[in-house]
């Protein structure tokens, strides 16, 4: 489909929106991620069928939407309120439309917030590498237990100032690891060649990011806990921090639970149990000095969290039981036969029969494909078909490609914390 650009006055700001397909088509709402814009959906829009009515807004501070401030103390509510206001825009949707909502990364958190606030308006949810429902970083387990009281190590304090400066300057070069183009190639996709002719489009989209205290990255505050910084009250990265964005309980309690598809990537370096954007994980690997060996700043556990929210299952203390995730549009529980869900977990103390299956789903974002795998405590005691991803404890970058690792890590480690390549590879 070919898209058109519209501007809509909604929630007190002017929002730029891409639309494609007939007004009476099946409604689909697409919410982009951080340091991007609705242009990131353009390659997908060109491939969607004409039966859909696709609407892709630029979030505030991105693309051509107004550079309105982000109140981080509200979590992602500022973004969600903007998007919710578009549901009633007659130039975008039919009256009473209930779109399928797709959210990528930051947009995944926005769509989760939208589901909590307006469940009656959502026909289904597609989460593509979403932020954890417990926020980005600062926690130690699948239940979102805080690593420190103030979630130290999260928010704007971890942003690389050189990367921010290059965004503000409109740097289109590939000079240095902190240029937006280099970051796109290193962190947004698994294979830079997959960007093809869309690379310039996506770089231009990244450069529309509004920078500063009220937008990206936001303000930081000092913390008495390692690494000495915590989320401030303003800006995007703080809005993603668990001090302000934690809605797992609200999701589990939602009275209306539409179908949810959660897509993750086994090569994702941003949203994973070993996220290169998680300061605690960087500290654990020696990339950030002073990481407490006691584990008071343990890395976050990402994988499996959205599943808990959709099934509404929380592990009671001192009990054993079983539960399965909702994945690829399915949700199954063990009933004495092999589960048809591609990915299931169990609590210790109970071993259901059979074993989980491996299923691959194609995706164009950040990685070549998505591989569902049983976790380390999987049902059969083995990884699926012997396949192990880097994020699931497979091949270590330090033992295989330290040069690559340095190139990927450098953009996200503040200059004062960087190791030399030789140190990083030890």
Q: What is the CATH number of the domain that holds 54?
A: 3.40.50.1820
Give the pLDDT confidence score for residue 378 in this predicted structure: 26
110 in a structural domain: yes
110-144 pLDDT tens trace = 999 999 999 999 999 999 999 999 999 999 888 89
CA distance 157 to 228: 9
264-308 pLDDT tens trace = 888 899 998 888 889 998 898 888 888 886 555 555 655 555 555
315 in a structural domain: no
CA distance 347 to 166: 46
39 in a structural domain: yes
78 in a structural domain: yes
Give the pLDDT confidence score for residue 255 in this predicted structure: 87
Global pTM reads 0.74
379-421 pLDDT tens trace = 222 222 222 223 323 222 222 222 222 122 222 323 333 222 2
> Where does 3-130 show beta strands of DSSP type E?
3-10, 13-20, 26-31, 52-57, 100-104, 124-128
Dihedral sign, Cα of residue 189, residue 194, residue 197, residue 198: negative
Under-70 pLDDT residues of the chain: 293-426
- Which of 286, 302, 293 minimizes the C-alpha distance to 240? 302
> Where does 40-123 show beta strands of DSSP type E?
52-57, 100-104
**Residues contacting residue 77 through CB under 8 Å, at least 6 positions apart:** 71, 113, 117
220 in a structural domain: yes
CA distance 225 to 249: 26
Bridge pairing between strands 26-31 and 52-57 = parallel
For 335, phi and psi rounded to 5 degrees? -135, 30
* CA angle at 372 for the pair 264 and 117, rounded to the nearest 5°: 40
Domain, as residue range, for 16? 3-306
Token pair recorded at residue 239: 């809005």
How many domains does the chain divide into?
Answer: 1
Q: Write the CA distances from 205 to 31, 37, 167, integer angstroms.
A: 14, 6, 11
266 in a structural domain: yes
403 in a structural domain: no
280 in a structural domain: yes
């Amino acid at each position: 489909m070919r898209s058109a650009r519209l501007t809509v006055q909604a929630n007190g700001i002017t929002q730029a929106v891409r639309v494609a397909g007939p007004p009476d088509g099946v409604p689909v709402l697409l919410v982009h991620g951080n340091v991007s814009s609705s242009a990131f959906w353009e390659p997908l829009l060109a491939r969607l069928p004409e039966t859909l009515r696709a609407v892709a807004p630029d979030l505030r501070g991105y693309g051509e939407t107004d550079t309105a401030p982000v109140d981080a103390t509200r979590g992602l509510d500022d973004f969600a309120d903007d998007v919710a206001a578009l549901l009633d825009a007659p130039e975008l949707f039919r009256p009473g439309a209930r779109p399928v909502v797709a959210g990528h990364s930051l947009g995944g958190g926005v769509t989760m917030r939208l589901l909590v606030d307006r469940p009656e308006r959502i026909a289904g949810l597609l989460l593509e590498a979403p932020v954890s429902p417990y926020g980005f970083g600062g926690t130690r387990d699948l239940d979102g237990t805080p690593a420190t009281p103030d979630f130290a190590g999260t928010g704007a304090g971890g942003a690389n100032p050189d990367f921010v400066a290059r965004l503000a300057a409109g740097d289109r070069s590939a000079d240095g690891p902190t240029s937006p183009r280099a970051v796109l190639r290193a962190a947004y996709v698994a294979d830079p060649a997959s960007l093809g002719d869309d690379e310039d489009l996506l770089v231009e989209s990244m450069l529309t990011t509004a920078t500063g205290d009220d937008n990206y990255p936001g303000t930081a505050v000092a913390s008495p806990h390692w690494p000495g910084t915590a989320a401030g009250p303003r800006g995007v990265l703080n809005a993603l921090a668990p001090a302000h964005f934690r809605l797992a309980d609200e999701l589990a309690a939602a009275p209306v639970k539409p179908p949810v598809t959660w897509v993750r990537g086994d090569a994702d370096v941003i949203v994973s149990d070993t996220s290169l954007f998680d300061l605690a994980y960087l500290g654990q690997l020696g990339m950030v000095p002073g990481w407490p060996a006691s584990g008071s700043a343990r890395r976050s556990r990402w994988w499996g969290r959205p599943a808990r929210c959709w099934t509404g299952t929380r592990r009671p203390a001192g009990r054993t039981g079983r539960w399965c995730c909702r994945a690829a549009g399915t949700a199954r529980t063990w009933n004495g036969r092999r589960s048809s869900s591609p990915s299931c977990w169990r609590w210790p103390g109970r071993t259901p029969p059979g074993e989980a299956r491996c299923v691959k789903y194609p995706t164009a974002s950040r990685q070549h494909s998505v591989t569902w795998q049983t976790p380390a405590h999987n049902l059969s005691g083995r990884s699926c078909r012997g396949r192990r991803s880097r994020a699931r404890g497979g091949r270590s970058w330090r033992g295989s490609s330290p040069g690559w690792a340095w190139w990927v890590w450098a953009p996200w480690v503040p200059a004062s914390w960087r190791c030399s390549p030789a140190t990083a590879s030890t």
